[in-house]
Amino acid sequence: MLHTSTDKTLNSWISVPQESDFPLQNIPFGIAAKASCQPKVCTRIGDTVIDLSVLASEGYFQNLDAKVLESFDKQALNDYIALGSEVWSSVRERLITLFIEDNPELRDNKAIASKILSPLGENVMYLPVRIGDYTDFYSSMEHASNVGMMFRDPANALLPNWKHIPVGYHGRSSSIVVSGTNIHRPKGQIKFPDAPSPIFSPTRKLDFELEMAFIVGKNNSLGDSVSVDVAENHIFGMLIFNDLSARDIQNWEYVPLGPFLSKNFGSVVSPWVVTMEALQPFKTAGPVQETEVLPYLKFSGDKSYDIKLEVCLQPEGDVPQEICESNHKYLYWNISQQLAHHTVNGCNLNIGDLCASGTISGPEPGSFGSMLEICWNGSKPLVLNDGKTRTFIDDKDTIIMKAFAVKDGLRIGFGECATTILPAKS
């Protein structure tokens, strides 16, 4: 019997807290390890981590090829992802079957189950994929409009190309880190409007950018394009992405080639990759693209995802305070269009490459996905619960991002993406 993500009635014999992001219908993938153990491929149900390598060695994947079992013993998901969508579905189906509440196969074998299952708190999470290349798009019209109004012509906030092309740039993959990794405040050149020349200083306008990212799940050869109709077949899954930014460094350096030092000092991802299969119930229509796009970007059907996004700011010694609520469905350019555009010139994407959405802002101030917008470049300070204010991120502040989708009683989520900003190194 095949189980589907839309079956709300499925329950696991593993305890799942109410409002958990990780019910039996999720089955995300990540890299985890208990103390002094080797990181390996794992999944999660509730607050329990499931070691797929041990599960395989105990004989619970007997019908799968040896290459699948070997991929579970790796320290990144790339080898597993490379096995293709049929394998992903088979593994997902087997895991749902194995952990469904009325299956005693593993449930009643306490000795073996204790080797396979462990509390989340006993595990260290690692970067889930080996990221070869990273691309950051600029796909939220609200965000692009806000930035245009702030720094260019409010009457013509969007540049002429914006509604014709999914704008993007290539970023630095080596500084992408997993949630829980702290980032030092970056230094660089800052040019004040009334100063004759720049200074060298730690950034005074450190910002977060609320984004989601997808992981490429299938190679395309150099010279080949991927059509918008099959683009999702080339995507393994999604995660939360915090693209930290130094706005003052960016303002000085971005002409003519775009961001450089203002972006490549650190970006943070959530540790669990939620598969596209798990996200299918939450597909929805995106914004209407009234400006006609070129044929290779035209699509039919629902290509957007109704994924709720939240950002909390937590000053040192204080409790988190929610400062933003947005949604992945606000993206003007959907992930299929992003991937199709990325490859239309024959660019070869590789398994494990990461493509981020760009800041996801909604139509209202409470849905703006960066401090730059929330505080309108410092002109509208954010008042915190203790009465103190922020215009950008202070040292020792922690940024916590969350993402989850809810429909008809089914909740599938991504957990948290968190980082604390440390002072600049001397």
Average pLDDT on 369-398 reads 97
User: Across the chain, which distance is largest between two alpha carbons, in Å?
Assistant: 74
CB neighbours of residue 371 within 10 Å = 27
Mean pLDDT, all residues of the chain: 96
Catalytic-labelled residue, pool 143, 234, 328, 342: 143
Average pLDDT over residues 130-139: 98
Using DSSP's 3-state secondary structure scheme, residue 131 falls into coil
Q: What is the pLDDT of residue 4?
A: 58
| Burial annotation 146-172 (CB, 10 A radius, 16+ → b, else e) | bbbbeeeeeeebbeeebbebbbbbebb
Residue with tokens 């999702």: 232
- How much is the pLDDT for 286? 97
Q: Output the DSSP codes for 118-129.
A: EEGGGEEEE-SS
Identify whether 3 is a catalytic site residue: no
Q: What values do phi and psi take at 126, rounded to 5? A: -120, 165
Q: What whole-number distance in Å separates Cα of residue 269 and Cα of residue 127? A: 8
Average pLDDT (106-133) is: 97
Q: Which residues, other chains included, contact 58 with Cβ-Cβ below 8 Å and sequence gap of 6+?
A: 112, 115, 116
Compute CA 400 distance to the chain's CA centroid, rounded to the nearest angstrom.
13
Q: Of 219, 403, 260, which is closest to residue 326 (Cα–Cα)?
A: 403
pLDDT digits (tens, 9 = 90+) for 244-265: 999 999 999 999 999 999 999 9
Percentages helix, strand, coil for the chain (3-state, rounded to 5) are 25, 30, 50
Tell me which residue has tokens 């470049």: 377
DSSP state at residue 180: T
Model confidence at 149: pLDDT above 60: yes
d(CA 170, CA 333) in angstroms, rounded, equals: 17
Q: What is the pTM of this model?
A: 0.97
Domains within the chain, CATH numbers bracketed: 30-126 (2.30.30.230), 134-422 (3.90.850.10)
Q: How many percent of the chain have pLDDT more than 70?
A: 99
Per residue in 328-381, pLDDT (tens digit) is 999 999 999 999 999 999 999 999 999 999 999 999 999 999 999 999 999 999
Structure tokens at 212: 């989601």
- Per residue in 23-59, pLDDT tens? 999 999 999 999 889 999 999 999 999 999 999 999 9
Q: What pLDDT band is residue 7 in, cutting at 50, 70 and 90?
A: confident
The pLDDT of residue 161: 97
Instruction: Determine the pLDDT at residue 6.
Output: 64
> In this predicted structure, what is the pLDDT of residue 35?
85
Between CA 347 and CA 219 the distance in angstroms is 10
Inter-residue contact 369 to 308 (CB < 8 Å): no
195-222 residue pLDDT tens: 999 999 999 999 999 999 999 999 999 9
Q: Quote the CA–CA distance of 245 and 264 in Å, as a whole number.
A: 8
- Check whether 153 has a pLDDT greater than 80: yes
In this predicted model, which residue has the larger pLDDT, 152 or 347? 347
pLDDT in tens, 63-104: 899 999 999 999 999 999 999 999 999 999 999 999 999 999
